[in-house]
Structure 1
Amino acid sequence: MSDRNVTDELDDLQYVDLFSGCGGMSQGFEQVGFDCVGAIDQNENACETYGHNIGTEPIIGDITNYTADGLLDEFGVSKGELDVLISCAPCQGFSQHRNKDDYDHDERNTLVSFSAELAVEMEPEFFVMENVPELIRGSKEKYWNRTYEILKDAGYLVKSDILNAADFGVPQRRNRAIIIARKDSRKVELPSPNVDDHRTVRDAIEDLPPVKAGEEDPDDPMHRAPNHTDRIVKMLDLVPNDGGSWMDIPEPYQDEYWLDSMKKRAENGDLGSFCDTYGRMHWDRPAGTITRKSSTPSCGRYVHPEQNRNITVREAARLQSFPDDWEFQGSFISWYEQNGNAVPPKLGEAIAEEVKQWYPIEEKGARQATLENAFSD
């Protein structure tokens, strides 16, 4: 166990980010004053972005090839020394949008519990996890149950719930499972909403200069729009501003622009979320969930409220709450993928603030509740 005195070193709280991606959660922790001592991810583009913006070069590799001791050696820290271990394991295997096959044997489903096992061996003060809501309240709960038992049996007090990023200043409706666990059954809580009014698409992107499909703002390479065919641009021109979608294309043009699948759904009245495709964002609402597919109009409501194109990378990043000095690395299409896969930094910041407020241990002895006391509050 490290003899580092957390009472005297609140400005030197250390974290490691497993499955670090491009650094959304880490950015939130950095904004609160935590220091990254290590990160790991398999995606080379995301690792390049992480190093460029966070300042720590992640290990590019498969985490399952490492032991806890091996990772601690790589990061130059000792068992019990970390303040926070972050794990945002890939969630695609859990997603409700991929329900056509049985994903019970998808190896990504085991990464959640695998990272908990690493945490037990590395002994951080806090273990933080973010994932899709289905992990703790839905079809994939069995994977969470196993993870919970691993942490609980090792003496961690575990708090979990589904939080909406919009409640924490992110201009986007994004429900995510958030888990915070603390060593030695010391009490901890999840962050509470910290905004009275949700930020909107207008709040986030209205001030950005207009660009056309396929064009880039000369003053900001991230404010670059995906290219669309002439047919798609003409189709989008027929979609009403501020929240319209393919359903609102005037009748004289429907035969030309509606796909067979659209016609069938319209006839059956079975629209579901399909009505969001080729949809414009609403100016005065938070955006819907920004995904890795936000460059493609057929994949959701990702069209600019007024301009005939999908949102630019900068607009997508702002809707995720990344700062304007954030620069993605790698291929252009990977910028959207990295952004959509990231934890919104503002949500990460709220989590980091919650974790930090439980320090220093010596001065907050009243908060050192045992598991029994925590549940008796």
Structure 2
Amino acid sequence: MTYKLIDLFSGAGGMSLGFVDSRFCGGFKCVLAVDNDKAALETHAANFSGKTVLGNIEHWLAENPNVPKADVVIGGPPCQGFSLLNKNRSGDLRRALWEPYLDIVELSEAKIFVMENVSELYRSDELVQIRQQAERMGFRTDAMVLNAADYGAPQTRKRTVVVGWRNKDVEAPVFPPPRTHASSDLKTDLPAWRTVKEAISDLGEPRGTEIGVGAPLDLHFGRNPTEKSLKRYRAVPPGGNRFDLMRNARHITPACWIRKTSGGTDLFGRLWWDRPSVTIRTEFFKPEKGRYLHPVKHRPITHREAARLMGFPDDFIFKGGKTEIAKQIGNAVPPNLAGAIAAMVKASLDGDVSKKSAKIPWRLEAPIGETVSA
């Protein structure tokens, strides 16, 4: 059976990919995606079926749209809606964006919803409100902070995941999904976290400075650094950061970094070959924003490398310009994590929880670095 899926605040569709693509989970079909980012929604439309709605979700709901029926609603309301992260909302009469999300859960008659967001949501007052509202709608809920590296993504990205289910309609899901990978520091039989080397070491030198044609090199382009930037890159040793730059080349270290003697250990840092990536954010192409220098090359990581570190297979189609695509990659849910959640949801909808069918299939190893023929 194929279940119907609605993806809200969908972005490029990293979460949809985990649900829809059989390399991650499969068994779902996206019938609606809503987002206010035009390029991201074009990316979603290029990879998935179903209707797309571009615009503000509140304005769209105010038009009394015909919300399609669905089995599952997924999505991550932007973190600006959470009081813990935006403390200046006093007097702001706008609804938090999780509210229209739950309105669509109700209108679609979904049996299960999955909401994800930054890890800080877990200890916020707003999470209490979300769960209370879901309970009033007839849902039981559970929430936890999950690490994408535990589910096969070559990236340590922690996200709060909230799962709600209508207890009268479906079997309670096994939450969290069983891990498929673990830190090598732990004593476990699980495979070790996947590393940067596994994800990107087969890629050669970047090709040009613009988006090209044909995966994977279409997004494997470089930049035009100044000579000063190149000298800075060369001053950072394997695993190093801005403090190494300051020690090795103080004369070309930004003054603001010299004045700031603590914190920011990832700024201008190199990724490690033998570890997962740090969290990939929207400006990964700027090493001054984080640990985004290649492990051994004197350059930042490319868009293709960032996409692989997020867990996107090479045949995923991105639309838009360089900055727009970077934003889509940095804002995405790692498909491996989404696939683990999807398998859990599918087991609940199938009534198969007791058979532990939520265990993640080992074919999740395939997508990174593999371009699949159509």
Per the normalisation by structure 2, the TM-score is 0.83
Segments of 5+ residues of structure 1 without an aligned counterpart are 1-9, 368-377
Give the counterpart of 1:88 among 76, 100, 109: 76
The equivalences for 1:1-377 within 5 A come to 10=1, 12-31=2-21, 32-67=26-61, 70-71=64-65, 73=66, 77-78=68-69, 82-92=70-80, 94=82, 102-103=88-89, 110-137=96-123, 141-184=124-167, 186-190=171-175, 191-195=177-181, 196=190, 197-211=192-206, 214=209, 220-240=217-237, 242-249=238-245, 251=247, 253-254=249-250, 256-266=251-261, 270=262, 272=263, 274-361=264-351
Matched residues in 2 for 1:51 and 1:15: separation? 14
Q: Which amino acid in the other structure matches residue 114 of structure 1?
A: P
Residue 70 and residue 93 in structure 1: after superposition, are their counterparts in 2 closer, same or farther (change >3 A)? closer
Q: Residue 270 of structure 2 aligns to a residue in which SS?
A: coil
Larger-Rg structure: 1
Corresponding letter in the other structure for 2:174: E
CA gap 1:331/1:115 in 2 versus in 1, 3 angstroms = same
Contact residue 246 and residue 258 of structure 2 kept, 8 A: no
- Following TM superposition, by how much is the alpha carbon of 1:293 offset from its aligned partner in structure 2, in angstroms? 1.4
CA shift for structure 1 position 247: 1.4
Letter in 2 for 1:90: P
What root-mean-square deviation, in Å, do the aligned CA atoms of Structure 1 and Structure 2 show?
2.6
| Structure 2 unaligned regions, length at least 5 | 182-189, 357-374
- Deviations 1:127-186 (CA, angstroms, capped at 9, x unpaired): 11110111122xxx2211111111111211101100000000000111100011111355
Identity %: 36
Q: What is the rounded CA distance, in whole Å, between the counterparts of 2:139 and 2:318 in structure 1?
A: 36
CA distance in 2, matches of 1:107, 1:296: 36
Question: Comparing both structures, which one devotes a greater share of its residues to helix?
Answer: 1
SS of residue in 2 equivalent to 1:285: coil
Aligned-pair distance for 1:218?
A: 6.9
Note closer, same or farther for the CA distance 1:167–1:104 as it changes in structure 2 (3 Å cut).
farther
Whole-Å separation in 2 of the counterparts to 1:349 and 1:47: 20
Contact 2:145/2:158 (<8 A) preserved: yes
Q: Is the contact between residue 95 and residue 132 of structure 1 (CA under 8 Å) also seen in structure 2?
A: no
Q: Deviations over 1:59-88 (max 9, x none)?
A: 1111101339944x25xx34xxx1101121
Whether contact under 8 Å (1:213, 1:308) holds in the other structure is no
Following TM superposition, where does structure 1 have runs of at least 4 consecutive aligned residues deviating by more than 4 angstroms?
Answer: 92-96, 103-109, 215-219, 363-367
Once the two structures are superposed, what CA deviation does each residue of 1:10-60 show, in whole Å capped at 9, x if it has no partner?
2x2110111110000000001222111111100001011111122445211
